[in-house]
């Protein structure tokens, strides 16, 4: 990776790491939306690095209490995640080689959906959803994670609709992200996708995101967490719309 592209990508990751710390979400979506949408790095490389970062973060954040999350939930999510990750990685490789415009549109739609979902306040159901609904959520989560290394939006919306304690939901989501990132990294490794570019960017990204996380904890913004959440939401929506417009223009150019 050229030095200019590397510095630009690391700058995006630093901002994303800081916002993730103070707002509680958005690392993968911001990195993929900003760095991928602007084109400072290839989407397959960014997705692989985001998966590595998410896996490391999940390993640190997930305490031993995950064993009380309910086997039926974990198994259902995993059954949906594992096969759809492979499909997502395959789609990423195929679209990267055949239709970057369509891939850009999919990325824009995911980032836009992620931003909109942040603003939604899903009302918890009176009764917990059946196991098959966790599996369906797992399929969508694995597909998003396989394509772009961003598994968050489908799982977040589904889990927050359940009448469960917030701590249970938090741990369930962390475990979900760990399964997705771990399986994606393993599958990409077997396909030879953990290239020198991936490891180079990951080696630089880990300390940069770590420093941004420390700054976010040590020097949080003067505004409230709710305002920062709105800032992150608007940033994701703007990024998503920008990427969608970029993809549409590319399709129009190809059509012309």
Tens of pLDDT, residues 69-97: 888 888 999 999 999 999 999 998 888 87
How sure is the predictor about 122, in pLDDT bands with cuts at 50, 70 and 90? low
Task: Tell me the pLDDT of the chain averaged across its residues.
Answer: 83
76 vs 61, which has greater pLDDT? 76
Q: What pLDDT does residue 186 have?
A: 92
Domain range for 40? 3-255
Task: Tell me what pLDDT residue 203 has.
Answer: 92
Which residues are within 8 A (CB) of 100 and not within 5 positions of it... i.e. 6 or more apart?
250
Count Cβ atoms below 10 Å from residue 199 Cβ, excluding itself: 13
Q: Which helix (H) or strand (E) holds 182?
A: helix 166-190
**Residue % of the chain over a pLDDT of 70:** 92
Beta carbons of 133 and 77 less than 8 angstroms apart: no
Cβ 159 vs Cβ 177: under 8 Å: no
For the chain, percent helix, then strand, then coil, each to nearest 5?
Answer: 80, 0, 20
Kindly tell me if the per-residue pLDDT of 65 is higher than 70.
Answer: no
Mean pLDDT comparison of 155-164, 192-201, 229-238, highest-scoring range: 192-201
Predicted confidence at residue 133, as pLDDT, reads: 92
CA torsion angle for 58, 113, 100, 27 (degrees, to 10)?
A: -30
3-state secondary structure at position 70: coil
Nearest residue to 18 (alpha-carbon basis) of 206, 207, 210, 212: 212
State both tokens at 65. Answer: 């209490």
Contact criterion met (CB below 8 Å) for 71 and 129? no
Q: What is the pLDDT of residue 1?
A: 65
Question: What are 94-116's pLDDT values in tens digits?
Answer: 888 778 888 888 888 888 887 78
Confidence bin at 136 (pLDDT 50/70/90) = very high
Count of domains observed in the chain:
1
> How high is the pLDDT of residue 24?
60
Share of the chain above pLDDT 90, in %: 15
Q: Is the pLDDT of residue 63 over 70?
A: no
Burial label, 166 (beta-carbon count in 10 A; 0-12, 13-18, 19+): exposed
Residue with tokens 């359940």: 162
pLDDT at 204: 92
The three-state secondary structure class of 222 is: coil
Q: Can you give the pLDDT at residue 71? A: 86
User: Which residue in the block uniquely carries the two structure tokens 């954040």?
Assistant: 61
pLDDT at 22 (0 to 100): 74
């Amino acid at each position: 990776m050229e030095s200019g592209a590397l510095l630009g990508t690391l700058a995006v990751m630093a901002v994303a790491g800081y916002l993730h710390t103070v707002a509680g979400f958005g690392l993968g979506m911001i990195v993929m939306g900003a760095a991928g949408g602007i084109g400072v790095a290839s989407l397959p490389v960014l997705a692989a690095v985001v998966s590595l970062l998410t896996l490391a973060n999940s390993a640190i954040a997930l305490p031993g209490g995950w064993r009380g999350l309910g086997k039926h939930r974990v198994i259902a999510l995993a059954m949906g995640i594992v096969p759809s990750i492979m499909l997502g990685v395959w789609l990423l490789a195929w679209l990267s080689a055949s239709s970057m415009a369509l891939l850009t549109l999919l990325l824009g739609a995911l980032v836009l959906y992620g931003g909109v979902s942040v603003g939604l306040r899903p009302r918890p159901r009176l009764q917990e959803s059946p196991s098959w609904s966790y599996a369906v959520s797992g399929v969508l989560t694995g597909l998003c994670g396989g394509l772009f290394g961003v598994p968050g939006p489908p799982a977040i919306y589904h889990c927050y609709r359940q009448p469960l304690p917030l701590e249970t939901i938090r741990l369930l989501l962390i475990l979900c992200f760990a399964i997705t990132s771990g399986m994606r990294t393993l599958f990409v490794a077997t396909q030879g996708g953990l290239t020198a570019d991936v490891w180079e960017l990951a080696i630089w990204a880990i300390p940069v995101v770590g420093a941004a996380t420390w700054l976010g904890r040590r020097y949080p913004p003067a505004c409230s967490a709710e305002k920062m959440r709105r800032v992150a939401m608007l940033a994701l929506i703007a990024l998503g719309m920008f990427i969608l417009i970029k993809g549409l223009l590319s399709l129009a150019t190809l059509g012309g």
